[in-house]
Amino acid sequence: MPTFQPWTLKQARALFDKPFLDLLFNAQEVHRKYFKPGEIQVSTLLSIKTGACPEDCKYCPQSARHRANVNSEQLIQVEQVLDAARKARDSGSTRFCMGAAWKNPYDRDLPILEKMIRGVKEIGLETCMTLGMLNDRQANRLAKAGLDFYNHNLDTSPEFYSSIVTTRKYQDRLDTISAIRQAGIKVCSGGIIGLGETIDDRAGLLVQLANLPEPPESVPINMLVKVHGTPLSNAEDVEPFDFIRTIAVARIMMPRSYVRLSAGREKMNDQIQALCFMAGTNSVFYGCQLLTTSNPEEDRDISLFNKLGLTIERVSTARSDVEDMNELTKKIVPVNTAQYYNAED
């Protein structure tokens, strides 16, 4: 159970209704209280299995049910992943995210996924995966391999969810997040703005995330990338100020979480992105490709970072929390050995 006072929809909606400049000021105050200003976390995302997904998410060009121009590819080779990870590291990323278009992974795929995790960590990057739904056993295997983060977005509010996805329930997503957390993997979970949702839906999404037993360590806020052939290809554009408001409210409601400016960034000019950073963004996807959609080129990002005086956060990737626990467990001296001291003797 949460140890904090849960957020209500009314409280979240009140934040959305605040005057824009007051909201940004409050968000920046919260951000500076919990994070070093001017420092951002940088991730790179690679599609390790593309297309032919059985899900019917209306926003996704990888769904086999839609007619987007996406070539299906099987799970790629481990060495291809490691080559991409090296390039990401050399370009400045500190976390490498691997995404597969699955409803859920099969057990036969886990040995390859475990090799990918171990290999990327040896390169010196934090690891993240998004593979669809996981059961407890699968989550534990990925944790033992050293996976640092798992991404599983809630997408939108519980009330609006069935309008976007019908091939899984909202509770399925919550159950996967619970399995991830119980396995000791850090949670990356956020949503998408621009699906046709209301302001209450945006508030409801953030209430769901903030009121998890432990809020996600990373909260990606995506702006819908409209892809021809998907049911939402003609969705109404999101007003930039409304998107920035969502970033600011997420920062206030989840003060210790990294808030990531994610998909849709290619369509944002430098001024919009600067306001997102002012509103509390301190994480971005970096590189030219996000799964099957484009992202700003690295040179443009570097130029923007320099203009704003942003520096990349450095991390230690020696071992994950689960690996540390396993190592400590090995050092525990068993009972009934010469090294064990029994106070009752």
C-beta separation of 289 from 248 below 8 A: no
> Which amino acid would we find at residue 66?
H
Q: Are 224 and 25 in contact (CB under 8 A)?
A: no
128: annotated binding-site residue? yes
Instruction: Answer yes or no: is 276 a known binding residue.
Output: no
For the domain that residue 191 is a member of, what is the CATH number? 3.20.20.70
Cα separation, 270 vs 254, in Å, equals 25
User: Does any domain span residue 341?
Assistant: no
* Residue positions annotated with a catalytic role: 53, 57, 60, 97, 128, 188, 260
State residue 314's pLDDT score.
81
Q: Which residues contact 204 (CB under 8 A, 6 or more apart)?
A: 9, 12, 156, 157, 158, 159, 160
Closest-CA residue to 134 (of 112, 162, 102, 161)? 102
Q: Which token pair is 96?
A: 């490498």
Nearest to residue 68, comparing CAs of 80, 56, 76?
56
Helix/strand/coil (H/E/C) assignment for every residue in the chain: CCCCCCCCHHHHHHHHCCCHHHHHHHHHHHHHHHCCCCEEEEEEEEEEEECCECCCCCCCCCECCCCCCCCCECCCCHHHHHHHHHHHHHHCCCEEEEEECCCCCCHHHHHHHHHHHHHHHHHCCEEEEECCCCCHHHHHHHHHHCCCEEECCCECCHHHHCCCCCCCCHHHHHHHHHHHHHHCCEEECCEEECCCCCHHHHHHHHHHHHCCCCCCCEEEEEECCCCCCCCCCCCCCCCHHHHHHHHHHHHHHCCCCEEEECCCHHHCCHHHHHHHHHCCCCEEECCCEECCEECCCHHHHHHHHHHHCCEECCCCCCCCHHHHHHHHHHHCCCCCCCCCCCCCC
What's the distance, Cα to Cα, between the start and end of the chain in Å? 41
Tell me if 260 is assigned to a ligand binding site. yes
313 is a domain residue: yes
Instruction: Give the pairing type, strands 186-188 and 191-193.
Output: unpaired
- Cβ atoms of residues 201 and 242 within 8 Å: no
Q: How many domains does the chain have?
A: 1
Q: What is the pLDDT of residue 66?
A: 67
The answer to whether 57 is a known ligand-binding residue is yes
- Give me 12's structure tokens: 């979240």
Residues 6+ apart with CB under 8 A from 183: 136, 139, 140, 142, 143, 322
Residues in the chain: 345
Residue 323 lies in a domain: yes
Report pLDDT for 64.
63
pLDDT at residue number 291:
43
Hey, what are 120's tokens? 């990327």
Other beta carbons within 10 Å of 324: 12
What residue numbers bound the domain in which 113 lies? 9-331
Please list the pLDDT of the chain residue by residue as tens digits (345 residues). 445 689 999 999 999 999 999 999 999 999 999 999 889 999 898 888 876 677 878 888 777 666 666 666 778 899 999 999 999 888 888 999 998 888 888 899 999 999 999 999 999 999 999 999 999 999 999 999 999 999 999 999 999 999 999 988 999 999 999 999 999 999 999 999 999 999 999 999 999 999 999 999 999 999 998 888 788 878 889 999 999 999 999 999 999 999 999 888 888 889 999 999 999 999 998 764 444 444 455 578 888 888 999 988 886 555 545 544 444 334 333 434 443 333 333
pTM of the model: 0.83
User: Do the domain assignments include residue 344?
Assistant: no
Q: Quick check: is 339 in a domain?
A: no
Q: 1 lies in a domain?
A: no
319 annotated among ligand-binding-site residues: no
Rounded to whole angstroms, the Cα distance separating 288 from 44 reads 9
In a domain, 278, yes or no: yes
User: What per-residue confidence (pLDDT) applies to 109?
Assistant: 92
Determine whether the annotation assigns residue 141 to a binding site: no
* C-beta separation of 281 from 268 below 8 A: no
